[in-house]
Chains A and B, each alone.
Chain A
Amino acid sequence: MSILDSKIPEGPLAEKWNKHKADIKVVSPANKRKLEVIVVGTGLGGASAAASLAELGYNVKAFCYQDSPRRAHSISAQGGINAAKNYQNDNDSVFRLFYDTIKGGDYRAREANVYRLAEVSPNIIDQCVAQGVPFGREYGGLLANRSFGGVLVSRTFYARGQTGQQLLLGAYQAMNRQIEKGNVKMYTRHEMLDVVIIDGKARGIIARDLVTGKIKRFGAHAVVVASGGYGNVFFLSTNAMGSNGSAAWQCYKKGAFFANPCFVQIHPTCIPVHGDQQSKLTLMSESLRNDGRVWVPKKKEDAEKLRKGEIGPNDIPEDDRDFYLERRYPSYGNLVPRDVASRAAKERCDAGYGVNAEGKAVFLDFKYSIERLGKDVIKARYGNLFQMYEKITDVDPYKEPMMIYPAIHYTMGGTWVDYNLMTTVPGLYSIGEANFSDHGANRLGASALMQGLADGYFVLPYTIGDYLASEIMVPKADTQAPEFDEAEKAVNQRLEKLYHIKGTKPVDYFHKKLGHIMWDYVGMSRNEEGLKKAIQQIREIREEFWKEVRIPGELDNLNQELEKAGRVADFFDMGELMALDALNRNESCGGHFREESVTDDGEAKRDDDNFTFVSCWEYKGEDQEPVLHKEPLVFENVKLTQRSYK
């Protein structure tokens, strides 16, 4: 068990981070110039880390599979970013943000990490404003805030419905400045396919140039993986088409433990699935729940008529509408956390009250707030989201309520990291959504942006120094070393193997199948039988994949099917581990809902006696069962209670 040293500093919660910063080593400017750091992924975490590290003087090599760092999927985050600024004078504080996050995460996150996150959150807003992020403002010129799910204060900063975009552009611009100065060398359209370990330490990566197909080697003194989450295991999700878990998965295969893989966030407000040709799901920001009311018909007949298209939502009289969130959770109402809202929607739909043709949608209605505030106010707040909704569905949400349904959105699980954000492999770091650290079993809205930037701007630049200080005498990684040879060879072999299968089915066929298995058995509601079935079916489909997949084109050319195939091949393995983890965790907590563990009124029931730990999985080789390690979670500052939003 000693292998899982979380390195949480001693002392009172509020002093841990300061004390830790005082204790860790610092690298001198002259030595920083000699050190190289690889950053994989250029979303909020990666871009902010690359920029900050380069500003400090490190030589940074940054990688992204997109044609520009600005296209990382952080760009799609809509609603906002939390920070304990207490600008609204509503009694917000670092402790309250910490507490909300721990509680929102259903007590499955580390206290120390979450507290640090809350502690640096105000700095993020300062930093972003200085970079020119055009946050929404009041007429007096000061910053505006909105409220988000699972909290009782207004602490969310926003830039219309494009907050992620603006924050990413801020980090991207900071990185661009360093690229111009030559401190960051940017490799776009490069995909990391393996991490290279020399003498037990991460010393580089193997990447494929996606334009030429060339396999390249890159050496460094440390590798930072900021490659986001693995939500695309489900095929349909709100993730970008290219979002994948492969970089993190290669780290897992090279010895980094993978933590809480079954913790997946299902976002309650997405545009429902439509037909069978759909390629992805579109999120409608959680912020919409500030002004929209969620309902389904009270009468099943009405729901049936809606499904058949015989009546429209506006034909249902006020008294026949069931505002089920307000009914079930009077104190938080429409602003309950995501996992709660998602399950409540599923419950209504499963009970036969779904409102679209497939019976898998509920209404999110703005009629009431338009009546109260006027169309212009609503338009100013959510104009771009309404426009997006109309373009996709051809329905005008100013006139008719939106139809929404839960969809896979975020993965709380990820690579296990210690307090320094280092994985179990020395010199290998994981930040942002790629790691597991801050959100427990459920992430609160507007906290992903906060975590990505906290890690990249204010945590990693300090903690990485502690490791690199002992690497200053280590020469630059020799990319001709046998470890690089071996890694490159393995990468090539795998690509060639995939390419030469020349089967009969395209990659999407398998990915869709995997997605169905995951959604049906490892989705919003899980049980032992289903999970076992899922593991079995995933193994079957994986086997079929490795026999029947057909990859066209050339190996040494831009080949999108080949890229996809590599990612999907890893998704099978990830899906299996997720199911295994879900099977192992026989309790309901946050986004992980086990049907075997519910309260009398159908809410999720945690089992703190048996499951107050982080599940950390260790890879043992192909066809070997991974080994579970447990990092116990110790709560000294909050009392574990059954979460209630009633």
Chain B
Amino acid sequence: MADKILKKLNIKVWRQNNAKDKGKFETYTIENISTGSSFLEMLDILNNKLILEGKDPIAFDHDCREGICGTCNLYINGRAHGPDTEVTTCQLHMRKFNDGETITIEPWRSKAFPVIKDLIVDRNAFEKILQAGGFISVNTGGVPDANTIPVAYEDAEESMDAAACIGCGACVAACKNASAMLFVAAKVSHLAKLPQGKIEAKKRARNMIAKMDELGFGGCTNTGACEVECPKSISITNIARLNREYLKARFSE
């Protein structure tokens, strides 16, 4: 429990100045990092060091730093969000690393997530998928009282399990096919499990899948890597539900 000091770490990191740049790995060393520090705090320290050395700091996405906004997205030592389970990169702590280790940091790699700079990728593809149907078509106002339609406890819980998705893209990053199925499945399941969302379920599945395909994500081969690397442990049973919803939608046409 007590924090230790990691005397020296080698940080091998992807550097790419902009979308058009070819990019390459650079290795930096950093000293005296507390194991109680978070991974991103370690990068902050490295960046401040780089600035003082007159170098360009490493660009990486991050915001809430408490594992909920889904902004941070680093591929660390061959794993989405690094060597811990049920965490985002910002919740990863240096106690998971050893003194003298070389840590490799890469951006999410997917055709649908082009690199913008260094470790920052463009996840706009996720936006487009959700815009294609990840909602319930109700306007503000004119809705019934919240308790008018009871929702079975189990359904609400299952819906919430899927709704916990933070849209970080770890599923895509971890999937050998760079598939977005878990992301899409989570949204489809979240809404399909609720009576309010059931009404549009078929259309939603159809439109979201069509958009997902259009954007260059790979297909799902049920390896289950997405579930393991998902910081919110969203189950791949949601993918089965998505398949079901999609087939229902297609066969009812």
Contacts and interface: CB of A to CB of B under 8 A. Distances in A.
Chain A directly contacts chain B within the complex, with at least one CB pair under 8 Å: yes
Interface of A: 48, 51-52, 55, 66-68, 70-73, 75-76, 85, 87, 122-123, 125-132, 134-143, 159-160, 162, 165-166, 169, 172-174, 176-177, 179-180, 186, 188, 211, 238, 240-242, 274-275, 277-280, 282-283, 309, 387-388, 391-392, 394-395, 457-458, 461, 504-506, 508-509, 550, 552-553, 557-558, 560-561
B140 A55 contact: yes
Contact of B153 (A141, A180, A388, A391): A141
8 contacts: A52-B140, A55-B139, A126-B146, A159-B163, A165-B68, A392-B38, A394-B1, A552-B55
B146 A125 contact: yes
A177 B164 contact: no
A173 B66 contact: no
Contact of A280 (B51, B65, B137, B196): B65
A143 B93 contact: no
Contact of B160 (A134, A238, A395): A134
Interface string B172-196: 0000000000000000001101101
B61 A67 contact: yes
Among A129, A395, A506, the most chain B Cβ lie within 10 Å of the Cβ of A129
A66 B137 CA distance: 25
Contacts of B67: 388, 391
A508 B135 CA distance: 39
A75 B69 contact: yes
Interface stretch (B83-91, B97-105, B218-226): B83-91
Interface residues of B, number: 84
Nearest to B162: A134
A506 B51 contact: yes
Given A143-B147, A395-B1, A66 B163 contact: no
Nearest to B53: A552
B123 A277 contact: no
A374 B140 CA distance: 41
A177 B137 contact: yes
A51 B136 CA distance: 13
A6 to B, nearest CB: 25
Nearest to A457: B140
A291 to B, nearest CB: 19
Contact of B38 (A179, A279, A388): A279
A134 B156 contact: yes
B17 A557 contact: yes
Contacts of A129: 143, 146, 149, 196
B150 A76 contact: no
Among B52, B68, B166, the most chain A Cβ lie within 10 Å of the Cβ of B68
Contacts of B61: 67
Nearest to A559: B59
B107 interface: no
A71 B160 contact: no
B196 A188 contact: no
Nearest to A278: B41
B173 to A, nearest CB: 15
B230 to A, nearest CB: 14
Given A391-B91, A391-B93, 19 more contacts: A48-B140, A51-B140, A66-B71, A68-B126, A125-B146, A128-B146, A130-B138, A134-B160, A135-B156, A174-B135, A176-B134, A240-B63, A279-B41, A279-B65, A388-B67, A388-B91, A505-B52, A552-B55, A561-B51
A309 B120 contact: no
Majority SS of interface residues in chain B?
loop
Among B37, B130, B196, the most chain A Cβ lie within 10 Å of the Cβ of B130
A557 B117 contact: yes
Interface in B13-37: 17-18, 33-34, 36-37
Contacts of A186: 127
Nearest to B45: A277
A403 to B, nearest CB: 12
A556 to B, nearest CB: 10
B87 A391 contact: yes
Given A139-B153, A188-B124, A71 B95 contact: no
Contacts of A139: 153
A272 B95 CA distance: 18
A211 B17 CA distance: 11
A125 B143 CA distance: 10
B156 A137 contact: yes
Contacts of A458: 140-141
A68 B87 contact: no
Contact of A179 (B18, B54, B131, B145): B131
A552 B57 contact: yes
A560 B119 CA distance: 12
B151 A558 contact: no
Nearest to A125: B146
Contacts of A160: 160, 164
B147 A142 contact: yes
B1 A75 contact: no
B225 to A, nearest CB: 21
B138 A131 contact: yes
B135 A176 contact: yes
B65 A162 contact: no
Contacts of B62: 241
Contact of A136 (B68, B122, B143, B156): B156
Given A134-B194, A279-B38, A508 B48 contact: yes
Contact of B130 (A159, A173, A274, A280): A173
B136 A173 contact: yes
B149 to A, nearest CB: 8
B151 A141 contact: yes
A508 B164 contact: no
B10 to A, nearest CB: 19
B210 interface: no
A505 B134 CA distance: 45
B1 A132 contact: no
Given A129-B196, A162-B164, A391-B84, A277 B116 contact: no
Given A282-B66, A394-B95, A211 B137 contact: no
Nearest to B150: A141
A211 B116 contact: yes
B66 A388 contact: yes
Nearest to B73: A67
Given A52-B140, A387-B86, A279 B167 contact: no
A240 B156 contact: no
Given A126-B145, A130-B136, A553 B66 contact: no
